[in-house]
Amino acid sequence: MRLCVAIPCFFKNVDFCEAIRRVAELGYDAVETYDWRKLDLGAVRKTLDETGVELLSMCTTEFKLTDPAYRDAWVEGLRESCVAARELGVKRLITQVGMDTGDAREAQHASIVEGLRAGAPILMEYGVTVMIEPLNTYVDHKGYYLWSACEAFEIVRKVNHPNVKVIFDIYHQQIMEGNIIPNIVNNLDCIAHLHGAGHPGRHEMQYGESDYKVILAAVDRAGYTGAIGLEYKPTVDPIESLREARRIYAN
């Protein structure tokens, strides 16, 4: 399983390019981030090229898909993010779908589907995949609409476009639905990326109730060819935490 470092989790007060260099020194070849607007895109691309590290994913600028009134803003933000992605060589964008508006869930579900369909031509133009993200509503994201990975798979299948997928965060889904291995391996056609952290606490993957060695081995056997992003709050020095993650989980 390819490991990917979510830079904001480990290098909060470090220049982004310097963080890429530190990750490369540790033996990682993939990173991800959230708000690309904070980056010097030219400098980041130069650093990626120099180190051989790939920027696997970053976020869209807008997260409101549950409300049709914000659809045009989401689509425009998607285009801006695709332009930045092309400059950085990024092939995947993460988008959250927004808060529960209080409308019927059927209406919000339909709004998400239609918003993603509206963005599909842009994704095709730039060769980028957008990934909707189910999040837990018990601990970290109260009021968020899309808590179920199973509903996320339904949305992706309704959109029925090769550039619209799910990012499956094992931490969030351990909290909300469990059934981790079957939900991943039976829906690989819908999943473009994984995230991991230990629950409870959202710390290192080995410090939680999920056995990530078992999970990742099962996902590998099922034919998953993507990566898992390390997206947790380290309990020790970040460099030591990343070094230990490679020792435990790198193939």
**58-72, pLDDT tens digit by residue?**
999 999 999 999 999
Query: Domain with 242 in it: what CATH number?
Result: 3.20.20.150
- Out of 54, 151, 204, 231, the active site residue is 231
**32-47, pLDDT tens digit by residue?**
999 999 999 999 999 9
240 is catalytic: no
Partners of 229 in the β-ladder:
4, 195
C-alpha–C-alpha distance, residues 212 and 207, integer Å = 10
**pLDDT-above-70 percentage for the chain:** 100
Number of structural domains in the chain = 1
Q: Is pTM beyond 0.75 here?
A: yes
Which domain range does residue 72 map to? 2-249
pLDDT, position 249: 97
pLDDT, position 251: 73
133 is catalytic: yes
- Out of 54, 133, 151, 204, the active site residue is 133
